Amino acid sequence: MRENAINGYDVIIVGGGPAGLCAAMYAGRGMLKAVTIERGAPGGELLNTDLIEDYIGFESIKGWDLAVKMSEHAKKFGAEIVTDTVERIRKVDDGWFDVVTSRGALYRAPAVILTAGGTPVKLGVPGEQDYAAKGVSYCAVCDGAFFKGEVLAVVGGGDAAVEEADYLTRYASKVYIVHRRDQLRASKILQQRVFANPKIEMIWNKRVVEIKGTGQAVDHLLLADAITGDPVRLRVGGVFIFIGFKPNTGVIEGHVKHDAAGYLITDEKMMTSIPGLFAAGDVRSQVTRQITTAVGDATTAAIAVEKYLAALREKEKAAVGS
């Protein structure tokens, strides 16, 4: 037993977004002693989303409001939510997991559900880091209001890019969507919305090669034609980048099976290749990543943890009796 360890938990839930809160709710319903560790306010990416229109039962709801509802629902069933950042998850020799946080806490349990989501993928071009928080952003809801009357660019072609471009038109005088292909990957209903928005203009077959500015703020983008390579200069007052997310799986010590993009591979019970380590939501390899899939994963994971722990107890009894 490790000194100064926080014990007594059946399961540790890492991440407090929709998947983590749903897992916490089901763990409570299953009479499991659980702790949910979230680095910020409960809700995860919901807190960075203005309007949600694809979560069944809510035709339209603010991301913040849904986060509050999910958090309150989980707490109704006894969810314990701790604000801290998990730095390491490691399965040790006794079969339990050590979960270490940035505040120096050590939590121990026989099972872990990882629901830590992902972080925005960066373009990796000159000027991106220099102008972070000076016109380069990865969250329209967080920063859109700072760009009233500006001409903005959104880089990307998926659902997130299209949704955020539409959101930014409430502040910007004009929004360009810069996409390296000749068609969007976003859902058809979202495409129809942006194509009908007079403030949005598509820039097809272009990639960003540099973000330029005055030293204090973004001034323009240097683009290159994806086919000919010809340079294009696009004057904007800010750029919002939505080209994907990297799963937050780096906290796991030891080898765990994952796909080419780093997303965890699980079985039908949401268990990873490390027995006792389950994954749900955006960290898991799957076809799509939506709130609905996140909470579905979490439901399965939490119920599977109950069965996993019951099987462990039976093995322990059998070992004692033999």
The residues annotated with a catalytic role in the active site are: 139, 142-143
Minimal CA–CA distance to 109: which of 118, 100, 101, 98?
98
